[in-house]
Structures are given as structure tokens and as C-alpha cells.
Amino acid sequence: MLRLLNILAVLVLVGSAVYAYSIKYQTSFRAEQITKTKIEIRQERDAIAVLRAEWAYMTRPERIQQLADAYLTGMKQIEATQIVAAQSLPERSPRVDSIGNKLDALGLSMPATPPVPGSAPTTTPKAQGQSQERHKP
């Protein structure tokens, strides 16, 4: 009985040591992850600060005025006569599907409705001929 208790105590001691080691390893691993994450956060904050500074520099009113003077010289102010009602605009021409019309003329058009489940699949005549050639012995 005493020998059994000694063996059991040794096993509990070994199990406790393994458990303590695994907790220590996990703790150090998590600490490294936290340190890396803090470094990444600091780098991202620095990058955001740089981007904000660049944005402030690029949107300075005097810079925008210089760009406007350089690139908008031929522009005019909009006049009230340039604004019209939607009814005064010409009708939009109907859409023409030239590729679809060519396929219809060749007899290669596909049906507009999806096929019914269980029915034969629709294919082009050329594809039907190829599939028949493959099935010949």
C-alpha cells in the first residue's frame, strides 16, 4: 500500500512538472505575441501619423490654389443656361445586341430561360455534332 502511494505521488509530481512547464511555455509564447503586437501597433500608428502629415501637406490651400491655377486655366464658371430639365434631353436609343443578332442569324443562340431540371441540356449545333462524334465506336 505504501509503495503504491509512493508511485502515485511520483506520478502526480511528474504530471505537475509537465503541466507547470506547459503553462510557462504558453505564458512566454503569449508574452512574445503581445510584444510583437505592440510593436506592430506602434508601427501602424507611426504610419498613420505620416499619412496624416502627408494629407495635411497635400491639402494645403496654397498648394491647391497653385494646382488649380496650373490645370484649370481653360475652365469657365457654370451658367444657369447650361442646366436643363430631364424632359428636354433626347430619348435614349434602344440597346442593340449585335453579337446576339449574329448568333441568332447563325442559329447558335441560347434560350433566354434557364433549362428545366431533368430535360436534355441545350448545346449549339456544332457542339452537338462533336459530342455525337465522340460517342461513335
pLDDT digits (tens, 9 = 90+) for 56-110: 999 999 999 999 988 888 888 888 888 888 888 888 888 888 888 888 888 887 7
Q: What pLDDT is recorded for position 137?
A: 47
- Residue 43 in domain: yes
| CA distances to 83, 84, 85, 103 from 80, in Å | 6, 9, 12, 48
- Residue 79 in domain: no
State which residues form the domain around 50. 35-67
Angstrom distance (rounded) from CA 64 to CA 68? 6
C-alpha neighbours within 13 Å on the C-beta side of residue 38: 6
Number of domains in the chain: 1
Q: What pLDDT is recorded for position 40?
A: 98
- Residue 49 in domain: yes
pTM over 0.95: no
Vertex 134 angle, CA 131 and 135, to 5°: 90
